[in-house]
Amino acid sequence: MSKVYLVTGGAGFIGSHLVERLLSDGCAVRVFDNFMTGKRKNLASFLPDIELVEGDVRDLAFLGQAMRNVEVVFHQAAVPSVPRSVKDPLTTNSVNVEGTLNVLIASRDAGVRRVVYASSSSTYGNSPSLPKREDMAPEPRSPYAVSKLAGENYCRAFHTVYGMETVSLRYFNVYGPRQDPESEYAAAIPRFITALFQGRSPTIFGDGEQSRDFTFIGNVVDANLLAAKTDRGVGEVFNIACGERLTLNQLVATLSEITQIAVHPTHAPARLGDVLHSFADISKAREMLGYAPRARAHEGLRETVDWYRHAR
């Protein structure tokens, strides 16, 4: 029997893109999701080709059953929002911390070869030092950031104590097709694009001079597949980004240029827990994983705008 690749949170934005790539590479794919934040429509075109297990990562016994014959776990399942974590830190902790610990325990007990963990650039916090390097001291500012850092530390500990192969990837502001624009916790890019197409003024929290290293989804999927195969970097943490940044004001201007829609954004008060600047040094991922972002900001934004234009 061929080995299986398990994607927790596989019905989510990032997870579903990872599922799609794995299937295109001819892999056997099992998705584990409770649809708390994931969407069935993200998997609709893949359902005949995947094994779907509906479950919660907080259920260790059921998660263990889903690990049979699994070679690699891509652990994407999470409550993914800083504002949501500020509003409900208990759920964020139970899913992101306890759930990650359960994934590691179930993987260890099932003899899984490797766990690739989805972490976040939010772990760096508001340190003024740029670009962010993996050897910087974390300064998490939100319950979400704390939960992601805890997951990294559990991965490192399981590698040290049990010899498990783990690789943690710190994602920087991932965007692309299928990202949900409707949630009250939606990310900036899908919210801005949707507002433009609906003739509304996009809302920027703060003055818009905060900057982000926006990372196209295809780059993130590439990084996950590299992390699953690398002989280097086991037990390590890697920045996954483009190594360039845009302010939110520049982002809106770029989207206006791509869509050919004039826009005058509305500004609202800055949100609790948000960081001012996020910009990655990706040299470690280049050197140890062979990672190189194929889609830069303008290219990725154009592809994303085209998807939302046709999805309306």
pLDDT in tens, 237-249: 999 999 999 999 9
With a cut of 50, list the residues of the chain below it in pLDDT: none
Q: What is the dihedral of CA 77, 281, 216, 253, to 10 degrees?
A: 120
CB atoms within 10 A of CB 186: 15
Rounded CA-CA distance 274/247 in Å is 14
Distance between CA 121 and CA 25 in Å, rounded?
28
Query: Domain spans of the chain?
Result: 4-174+216-241+280-294
Spacing of C-alpha 244 from chain mean position: 18
Q: What's residue 299's pLDDT?
A: 93
Q: What gap in Å lies between CA 118 and CA 133, rounded to an integer?
A: 17
pLDDT of res. 128 = 85
Cα R_g (the chain), whole angstroms: 19
What is the architecture, at CATH level 2, of domain 4-174+216-241+280-294?
3-Layer(aba) Sandwich (3.40)
Q: Which residues are catalytic?
A: 144
What's the pLDDT score for residue 298? 87
Which tens digits make up the pLDDT trace of 66-96? 999 999 999 999 999 899 999 999 999 999 9
Find the distance separating the first CA and the last CA of the chain, reported in whole Å.
42
